[in-house]
Amino acid sequence: MAAEHCFRQYCPRALEIIDTTLREGQQSSLLHDHHKYFFTAGDKEEITRSLILYGVKFIELFAPNVSAHEAEDWKTVRAIRDELITQKGYTFLLAHVRCHPADVEAAIQAGADGLNMYIGTSEQARAYNHGQGLDEIARRARALIEDVRRNHPQLILRFSGEDAFRTREADLFRVYDQVAEHVDRLGTPDTVGVATPAAVVRRVHALRQRYPKVALEGHFHDDRGFALINALEAVKAGMQYVQTTLLGIGERSGITSMTALLFNLFIDREYDRLEGYHLRASYPINVMMADKLRTLVPSKEPVSLTNRTHAAGVHQKGVLNSSYTYEAHPLDQFGVTESEILLGPLSGWNIVHYFLKEICGFELDEATARAIATCFKERIYAIAPGDSPADLLIQIAQQEFGLRTIQVPEQFRQAVAQNLTDGATREVGEVRHASGIILRTRQ
């Protein structure tokens, strides 16, 4: 195994994403909601490939003894990783393991490059999960870690006190003091999503001060909607490794979304932390993931077409003049290269005029556009589900206002950058509405 050669020679970047879509992500209830239950080997191949091409260097998988299916998938994922070594360099595959020799042994057998070891340290975990006291946890973890270090010096080792944010700092130190010198990273997972940004910053400072030689890793759950801000604050406070998933999927409300974190670091001009990530692939990778989940890129995902979709008349007019009116962020640099304007009950005469004239090629003046808009807005409320507002508008224009199209030679038509989309152009995972006008405003 090339891990020793690779990790000891690898110089970690200012920010290393540890993607755990294939571990934490599989714990998402979305898979059950959509009757999918697990990722197929094909899904895992595509997710792994996309992550590696995106620039992710650490991918977390379940310990292979979780199930025969997971064990088999280690081979699949490793094959993709090996295939991409010449193109993208080495990607490290980390196994999420309990502090238990059976998990450790299985992970090593499967060819893991590193072990993400964890055991609950909070009062709740100690009382209801495993029943061990702090000193027992520390003693056992240390013995196991020392043993692994001795016999497998090439492995990348991480230790995490699960539920670290409900663990008193002194308790966490009591355990970490015993293992810190033998591990490459110490994790501080917010397992149940209780951490505030201020608490995260305090924790990162405290850990950095006490263990200056060990890199820190975070994993933030979104129960309070803080998964993104907590990760962002942690990185700014000096955390080098952050666990993320695509679209932030994971247990309960999930964890930090990879593209949301990188997008915010970009906006906050933390450019040195973005080294090596193919940011323009952010939207495509989100669409790929949504497709796997049989859903759309969620509207709350910052890197989404929804964030460049406009429904209200005032907004539509503003965006027609300049997309900057209602689009403040450089989403195009994250692969959202289009804006979308929806024809519907809230549309004003401006977009009606624009649509009929520029896109459909009708000859009409402003007054006619206003009259058509009034008529359209009355009728649109009666439209049947699945019917296209664009068709309704064209029908009104032709049948009731007798509009005729002017013939625009093909070379001029192509010079018009805007295209009308319809259901046929909709890509899976992507928000595209039958009534939408797509503007390719910035590339």
Q: Kindly tell me which residue out of 50, 116, 339, 368 binds ligand HCA, with binding defined by CB under 6 A.
A: 116
DSSP letter, residue 7: H
Total interface residues for ligand HCA by CB under 6 A: 12
Closer to ligand HCA by CB, 233 or 340: give it. 233
**Element of type H or E holding 419:** strand 419-420
| Closest CB 220 distance from ligand HCA, rounded Å | 9
164: number of Cβ within 10 Å: 28
Q: Interface with Cu ion by CB under 5 A: which residues?
A: 24
User: Which of ligand HCA, Cu ion, none has residue 116 at its interface (CB below 5 to 8 Å by kind)?
Assistant: ligand HCA
- What is the full DSSP assignment across 195-250? --HHHHHHHHHHHHHH-TTSEEEEEEB-TTS-HHHHHHHHHHTT--EEEEBGGG--
Interface segment toward ligand HCA; rule CB under 6 A; list 77-85, 185-193, 227-235, 399-407: 185-193
Q: What does 344 interact with, of Cu ion, ligand HCA, none (CB < 5 to 8 A by kind)? A: none
Contact set for ligand HCA, span 243-302 (CB under 6 A): 251
- Which residues inside 139-168 make contact with ligand HCA, applying CB under 6 A? 160, 162
Shortest Cβ 260–ligand HCA spacing (Å): 18
Q: Helix, strand or coil for residue 80?
A: helix
Q: How far is the CB of 32 from ligand HCA (least distance, A)?
A: 16
Question: 55 or 187, CB closer to ligand HCA?
Answer: 187
Encoded tokens for 440: 């390719």
The neighbour count for residue 274, using CB atoms within 10 Å, is 17
Residue nearest to Cu ion (CB): 24
For the CB of residue 163, give the shortest distance to ligand HCA in the complex, in Å. Answer: 6
DSSP assignment letter at 426: P
- Give the strand pairing for 339-342 and 436-439: antiparallel
Polymer length of the chain: 443
* Residue choice 187, 284, 313, 335 for contact with ligand HCA (CB under 6 A): 187
Residue 95: which H helix or E strand, with range? strand 92-98
Give yes or no for residue 219 binding ligand HCA (CB under 6 A).
yes
Catalytic residue (choose from 96, 182, 315, 433): 315
Decide if 69 is catalytic. Answer: no
Helices 134-151, 101-109: axis angle to 10 degrees equals 30
Residues 6+ apart with CB under 8 A from 76: 41, 44, 45, 48
Binding footprint of ligand HCA on the chain (CB under 6 A)? 24, 27, 116, 118, 160, 162, 187, 189, 191, 219, 221, 251
Residues designated as active site = 315
